[in-house]
Amino acid sequence: MDNKEIIIQATMDLINERGEQMDGITVREICKKANVGLGLVNYHFGNKDRLIELCVERIVNGIVDHFRSIREKTEKLTAFDRLDYLGNMTFTFLFEHYAVSKISILADMRTPKEDDNTHRTYLAYLPLLSACRPDWDKETLERKTLYLIAVMQQSFLRHKVILQLYGIDLTVPEERRTFHSAILHDILEV
């Protein structure tokens, strides 16, 4: 493994160890764990924030891939129930891994890429919406799937505002499930 990958792995290990307290991770700490010189982080990644974003992207990629395998395990459910199940899992992950999720979403918004986590999530949801609404044309399915992902991301990022304005506490699992179900009904028009 080259130095770049060693630094990435050390940073991912620190993120996993720290959980929500990852703001305190320092370049010095990363380099010590990776057993490399301080200058290599800037050389390979430009700065610590870019390195953290890359690591978060890899962590979330793994979760999105895991969601795809879960989708396959829920094939006995109705199409709507599968979509509802995956959406609730996604929302739960976002709130249980708040710092990582926030970094991932904001990085995707700041610098959208074809293969970023938002797009990978979109690809995981597209066949589920298609199964719920086989009567929709491709363009409508793609647009509505994009709406769903955007609403979930914005709801997560603005959960405090939603609580203030509407009295819905998305940090409470039951309220989150009810809110998500309403989103699905609105978007799917069912």
Residue (of 4, 14, 77) closest to 42 by Cα position: 4
Rounded to the nearest 10°, the torsion over CA 126, 131, 137, 142 is -10
Its pTM stands at 0.79
Q: What is the DSSP string of 32-99?
A: HHHT--THHHHHHHSSHHHHHHHHHHHHHHHHHHHHHHHHHHTTTS-HHHHHHHHHHHHHHHHHHTHH
pLDDT at site 72? 66
pLDDT at site 59? 79
- Asked if 132 and 79 touch (Cβ cutoff 8 Å), the reply is yes
Least confident segment among 101-105, 140-144, 158-162, 185-189: 101-105
Q: Which residue has the higher pLDDT, 184 or 47?
A: 184
| Rounded CA Rg of the chain | 18
First to last CA, the chain: 51
Which of the given ranges, 15-24, 39-48, 175-184, has the highest pLDDT on average?
175-184
Q: In the predicted model, is pLDDT for residue 123 greater than 80?
A: yes
Residues 74-115 have pLDDT tens digits of 778 899 998 998 899 889 988 988 888 888 899 899 989 898
Residues 34-44 have pLDDT tens digits of 999 988 988 99
Average pLDDT over residues 61-85: 78
